[in-house]
Copies of this chain bind each other. A is one copy, B any other.
Amino acid sequence: MTPTPAAVLDGSEAATPSPCCIPLFRKPLDDAEADRLAAVFKAVADPARLRLLSLIAAHEGAEACVCDLTEPLDLSQPTVSHHLKILVDAGLLTREKRGRWAYYAVVGPALEELGSVLVANRAR
């Protein structure tokens, strides 16, 4: 049984954090951690990609057909595909072809882990 990505978020404080979720407040990041995190933040740091992420995240089941994503953004289909690929490559979206359309789903744990980097552990 392979643990699901969500399992890392269900663990206690004692669980080993995944490489991408070491809160900034705990200890200084080393070079490799900073490089890896910066690459994922770079994927998010674009207005069109933030809008795509939120369109998909707010969609039923946090999944959407690419056919539902071009019109709200008023961008060309190739431009939307380019942004979606960056988000898939960063591990923030999954892509599945079903019939003639591709469907994109948010990788919730990946977004939450990225978010958790910025949040101080106030309980300590």
Point out residues on A near B: beta carbons under 8 Å. 24-29, 31, 34-35, 37-38, 41-42, 44-51, 53-55, 57-58, 62, 72, 106, 108, 111-112, 114-120
Contact = CB atoms under 8 A, between A and B. Distances in A.
Contact of A111 (B24, B49, B50): B24
B120 A58 contact: no
A111 to B, nearest CB: 4
Q: Provide the main secondary structure of the chain A interface.
A: helix
B112 A58 contact: no
Q: A54, A114, A116, A119 — which one has the most chain B CB atoms within 10 A of its CB?
A: A54
A59 to B, nearest CB: 9
Contacts of A72: 28
Q: A25, A28, A47, A118 — which one has the most chain B CB atoms within 10 A of its CB?
A: A118
A36 B18 CA distance: 29
A114 B28 CA distance: 19
Contacts of A45: 38, 41-42, 44-45
B37 A50 contact: yes
